[in-house]
Amino acid sequence: MRQPRLVFFVTEDWYFCSHRLPLACAARAAGFDVAVVTRVQRHAAQIRDAGIELIPIDLARSSKNPFTESRTLSQLIRIYRRLKPDIVHHVALKPVLYGTIAARLAGVPTVINALAGLGYLFSSMDFAARLSRPLLEIGFRTLLKPNRVIVQNPDDRQLLVERGLINAQRTTLIRGSGVDLAAFAPAPEANGIPLIVLPARLLWDKGVGEFVAAARLLRQQNVAARLALVGAPDPANPASVPQATLEAWRAEGVVELWGWRDDMAQVFRDCHVACLPSYREGLPKALLEAAACGRPLVTCDVPGCREVVRHGINGLLVPLRNPAALAAALKQLVENPQQRAVFGRAARDLAAAEFSLSAVIDQTLALYRELAPA
């Protein structure tokens, strides 16, 4: 009997490896024929070595050129017609919209659309985002309501259901992509000046500006702490911090710029506090990884982030876009190592109890089995 064919469509190969490769491998072990359609940059060997079929696609996340976008959609339709998947699993906004159109035109029987947060178009207040939002909502109503949808936090589900953008009965809550509890394990704090890291792409809506402003306040208050941005800009995202701004921060010396790192478990073991003052998230994998390493967390009281941080238990929640409150929370943890230790232990316990990679894989495989051909 033919194995049911499962095809992922995501924007970037690095994202697939970081967030979905363990799931794809588990699906393959469970009897699915698995492939991924994505833009290929530097992770092709890792995907193929895992036994996953890789289909490159020309995809530009920031493109608004209708000819480029129609060419990408046509390419995806041809791929789906050739692969004849039983299930397609789309992750993030553009794959959800384009993938659902392509699946409908190619006759794919089952579509799963995973919304990894509501992103720039829903969280940003700039003119372009507000102008695009009504068109995006029309697309959601047309394309998402007939299909299965995975959301990562209850706030997103409530918002989408209340606006009539998704069908509540066709929606599944799976909290993030999970954290590998063996790879991200607790370690004692390093000696020396407390180190606070912000682990994320360098986007304004990750709260990078507020983090730098908080660092200035801590310096003015003579708080002995190091603050580091761990991540790279994302020029394809409209919210990316310009390189000139990063160079100005580097020259100012108020924060350290570590760039992109592929050893995040070591980064979290070396730090004393993990901070993500984001405007909105699906479920932030970086905070889950820091929690699994037993580090206290500081984040904003917004959808997605508050799923990971229980205020006063494993970290501190601060108001959105409030550098003074952020600085106060960071100062509290910098100056109180005993509280850091208590929060860190609770963070690890919560990660193990609610956000493990194995739990997320089990929940997603259960959905695949429910929807796969008999």
pLDDT at 139: 75
Q: Is residue 230 domain-resident?
A: yes
Output the CA–CA distances (angstroms, integers) from residue 116 to 68, 182, 215, 217, in the order listed. Answer: 24, 24, 29, 33
Q: Is residue 75 domain-resident?
A: yes
List the domain range (segments joined by +) for residue 145.
5-178+356-371
The least confident of 145-149, 202-206, 347-351 is 145-149
pLDDT at 138: 79
DSSP single-letter state for residue 16: I
Do 220 and 71 share a structural domain? no
Of 187, 163, 161, whose CA–CA distance to 294 is shortest? 187
pLDDT at 62: 64
Average pLDDT over residues 52-61: 90
Sequence-ordered strand ranges (E) for 184-231: 195-199, 226-230
How far is the C-alpha of 342 from the C-alpha of 364, rounded, in Å? Answer: 32
Do 154 and 22 share a structural domain? yes
Do 317 and 361 share a structural domain? no
pTM to 2 decimals? Answer: 0.91
How far is the C-alpha of 237 from the C-alpha of 229, rounded, in Å? Answer: 18
SS3 289: helix
pLDDT at 373: 83
Do 273 and 201 share a structural domain? yes
Between 245 and 237, where is the model more confident? 245
pLDDT at 194 over 60: yes
Is the CB of residue 24 less than 8 Å from the CB of residue 50? yes
Give 96-153 pLDDT, tens digit per residue. Answer: 999 999 999 999 999 999 998 776 556 566 666 666 677 777 777 888 888 999 999 9
Do 294 and 174 share a structural domain? no
pLDDT at 14 over 90: yes
pLDDT at 136: 73
pLDDT at 122: 64
pLDDT at 60: 76
Give the residue carrying structure tokens 């990750």.
206
How far is the C-alpha of 24 from the C-alpha of 34, rounded, in Å? Answer: 7
Output the CA–CA distances (angstroms, integers) from residue 239 to 129, 215, 279, 316, 335, in the order listed. Answer: 11, 21, 12, 25, 33
Percent of the chain with pLDDT over 70: 95
Of 68, 281, 355, whose CA–CA distance to 76 is shortest? 68
How far is the C-alpha of 26 from the C-alpha of 140, rounded, in Å? Answer: 29
Q: Is residue 94 domain-resident?
A: yes
State the total domains in the chain.
2
Do 29 and 170 share a structural domain? yes
Q: Is residue 184 domain-resident?
A: no
Average pLDDT over residues 292-316: 97
Q: Is residue 208 domain-resident?
A: yes
Do 99 and 233 share a structural domain? no
Do 172 and 77 share a structural domain? yes
Percent of the chain with pLDDT over 90: 82
pLDDT at 128: 62
Do 200 and 126 share a structural domain? no
Do 161 and 200 share a structural domain? no
Give 166-178 pLDDT, tens digit per residue. Answer: 889 999 999 999 9
Q: Is residue 143 domain-resident?
A: yes
Average pLDDT over residues 62-77: 85
Q: Is residue 189 domain-resident?
A: no
How far is the C-alpha of 243 from the C-alpha of 248, rounded, in Å? Answer: 9
Do 343 and 255 share a structural domain? yes
Structure tokens belonging to residue 41: 């940059």
Q: Is residue 222 domain-resident?
A: yes
Distant-in-sequence, close-in-space partners of 138: CB < 8 Å, separation ≥ 6: none
Domain with 157 in it: what CATH number? 3.40.50.2000
What are the residue ranges of helices labelled H in the chain?
Answer: 13-15, 21-29, 44-49, 66-83, 93-106, 119-123, 127-143, 154-162, 208-220, 243-252, 264-270, 285-292, 305-308, 323-334, 337-354, 357-371
pLDDT at 313 over 70: yes
Do 256 and 169 share a structural domain? no
pLDDT at 321: 96
| CB neighbours of residue 285 within 10 Å | 21
Q: Which helix (H) or strand (E) holds 151?
A: strand 148-151
- Angle 93-106/127-143 helices, nearest 10 degrees? 30
